[in-house]
Structure 1
């Protein structure tokens, strides 16, 4: 099938030649190939300013990232055959990295499938599509997943913010078989129920798996505070690893119910207490009450959604970390995490440094972590490197 051409301006092919997959609207030669002439999701042959083919992409003329490269091989269009090939590649990595089938199977650009996320919960798959190009081949995605994994059920959880940007409707629906409201997963030896329909994103955040394992290493015998807890991924694992007590804080009653259920599931309900509260209100109240913990875990939602939010977002990280530090015992551990792509690792470290100076604490960085192998970082796309986790020891000033 012959595909229409998307022509780039002079020198606008540098990013693609450097390994990136995105094309911005201001890089297109609209005099030769007007963006308004393309339909959202349409596949095209991308050409340099001199007409040299660079690969196949799909287009959305209405977005800042107006095209995403699918393949540099002109014979490989985005169809079931290519999807099966890329899924097998992705599966091979996960099977080498993990002993059980609980992981992110597809992580967008890093797995060569920009706009697609697939989380695996044993026999069940939860799929998120965030681009018009992937939406057009959603039937092929389902067919490819069925061929590669033969799942009992596939759920489309297509309610993310990016869909509005792409001009797509939001919906949650079964695409194949039957998927229960909650599915079981095991992480670091602990069992959880993930609320795939009503929960955040796909129902679970696999990206912090390795960082939660490191918290287990330190947790035995400690009094732990888990802030922004969601369904208890950090706190319940700390309790299962032998923490003396765990207090989980989340603003959602739904999340509180999930925390309690996951604690019971692992026989640690006597150690885990779940408190429904705004995180900052709870932290401030605990400071006033002079409560103290041996470990405080901060894994907030992304305070910095866009570049223009950086200043305000950094202030939120500053407030949270300073309050957490004030709640620590004299020899305490602070676990500070961020999923904000626009907060650089060094800036999070600066935030904690600043808190230490303000409160006159001796702060040492014990460990740094990031996303696990099921969230691989595309070496040429810095935007895929988003997750930070740091474990600090906090002592009185020397």
Structure 2
């Protein structure tokens, strides 16, 4: 498409807001209807070029800026170049093929491809669409991915609320067969395309290894263990004992198979976190290392205060099961909860429990989840490594 053919969208402000998302209130409504996901040229209120991106008059995010280079064309070649750059970061710079075969290939704004996430699980690529514009370019996206992952199975999906907000229909078809993935020398079951039931979250890869290093010789408790990654890594690295708890009995079948596949002994128990912890504390059980990695607590800004209260309650109870100078790795994947608020919650936990909480390290997702400096909300995962005396 030539620039002369590209529709122009005008902002209500002079210059670009500095964030790749531009809300409908910041945009003058175009004179003619443009289909959701249309590629547009963006100018400011003074008529000066500021970027190229996707337009969607039906969505809360009316514009997604993809490039501020006036000579750029948002087409198959653009997509191919951005995907090639993303893959090169993972393979040539981060050397992720050495770490395993489960990693994020494209991380939306972090890779300059707003509205697109691609995850690799061995020879299966899961392509998640968050924007109608990316969905319209799906053939180019799939062709580019096949260049770098020849023979891979590609599975595309979009959550229902995203399809509704963005006005596109993604018919995913049958989810791919479960696969075995490798991570730092261990193997895990993954069910790509099963949403939060994938059984494997690559974003914690480096945190699992670091926790395992610190937990050598310790008695480990893995809370909200999902498929047992932290406990299994810890036992493989020399932990003395590991118990793992999750409310989902189904995922624990996968966790037990993971432990068996790696030749480690972990005791898995299906239970509510609070019920299990209180009973263990009443029995006098204590642990030298605890990991607490609950699922996302809210997507709603109005419920952030409630989420923080729950983080406080979970951590406050976990601390009572921790030996003096015990290791606590506590995580939050709720993007709306900022690092400062999460750390303040830990401060209040320490005060309430009359325990000193030393934050040794505050980490996030692995480097295959890069965050654009102008999209701080992309830094969703907080993983605080603490010593509690």
Q: TM-score, normalised by structure 1?
A: 0.90
Determine the structure 2 residue equivalent to 1:22: 21
* Residue of structure 2 equivalent to 1:63: 59
- Aligned counterpart, 1:10: 13
2:206 matched residue in structure 1:
210
- 1:387 and 2:386 aligned: no
Shift of 1:161: 4.4
Q: 1:180 to 1:108 in 2, by over 3 A?
A: same
> Structure 2: which 5+ runs fail to align?
none
Q: Distance in 1 between matches of 2:172 and 2:263?
A: 32
Query: 1:170 Cα deviation (Å)?
Result: 5.8
Structure 1 stretches of 4+ moved >6 Å: none
The alpha-carbon deviation at position 357 of structure 1 amounts to 0.9
Deviation at 1:190, TM superposition (A): 1.6
Cα pair 2:246 2:252 within 8 Å, conserved:
yes
Is 2:191–2:197's contact at 8 Å kept on the other side of the alignment? no
Cα distance, 1:157–1:227 mapped onto 2, change above 3 Å: farther
* Partner of residue 94 from structure 1, selected from 90, 104, 121: 90
C-alpha displacement at 1:49, in angstroms? 0.6
**Displacement after TM superposition at 1:180 (Å):** 4.7
Cα shift at 1:351? 0.9
Q: Deviations over 1:306-339 (max 9, x none)?
A: 3211110100100010011011122311111111
Q: Could you report, residue by residue, the CA deviation over 1:212-239 in whole angstroms, capped at 9, with x for unpaired residues?
A: 1210111212111111111112121112
Q: Which of 45, 63, 81 does residue 49 from structure 1 map onto?
A: 45
CA contact (8 A) 1:127 1:155 kept: yes
Shift of 1:80: 2.0
- More deviation, 278-287/223-232: 278-287
Change (3 A) 1:156 1:201: farther
Give 1:103-252 correspondences, 5 Å limit: 103-159=103-159, 161-169=161-169, 171-173=171-173, 180-198=176-194, 200=196, 204-252=200-248
- Cα 1:203–1:55 change in 2 (3 A) is farther
Q: Assess, with a 3 A threshold, how the Cα gap between structure 1 residues 180 and 42 changes in structure 2: closer, same or farther.
A: closer
* SS at structure 2 position matched to 1:172: coil
1:297–1:335 CA contact under 8 A, matched in 2: yes
Report deviation, 1:14.
3.7
Shift of 1:203: 5.1
Aligned residue for 2:299, secondary structure, equals coil
1:201: how far off?
6.7
Structure 2: distance between partners of 1:310 and 1:260: 34
State TM-score, norm by structure 2.
0.92
Aligned to 1:319: 313
Alignment equivalent of 2:253, drawn from 248, 257, 260: 257
Deviations 1:129-149 (A, max 9, x none): 111111111122111111232
**Correspondence 1:260-299 to 2 at 5 A:** 260-268=256-264, 271-299=265-293
Go from structure 1 to structure 2 and tell me whether the alpha carbon gap of 1:277 and 1:163 turns closer, same or farther (over 3 Å shift).
Answer: farther
Question: Cα–Cα, structure 1 residues 183 and 77, in superposed 2: closer, same or farther, change >3 Å?
Answer: farther
Is the Cα–Cα contact under 8 Å of residues 125 and 151 in structure 1 kept in the other structure? no
More divergent stretch after superposition (104-113 vs 347-356): 347-356
Alignment RMSD, CA only? 2.0
Distance 2:171 2:224 in 1: 26
Separation (CA, whole Å) in 1 of partners of 2:290 and 2:162: 32
User: Aligned residues, how many?
Assistant: 382
SS of the equivalent of 1:86 reads: helix
Aligned-pair CA distance for 1:75: 4.2
User: How far is the alpha carbon of 1:162 from its aligned partner?
Assistant: 3.0
SS of the residue 1:173 aligns to:
coil
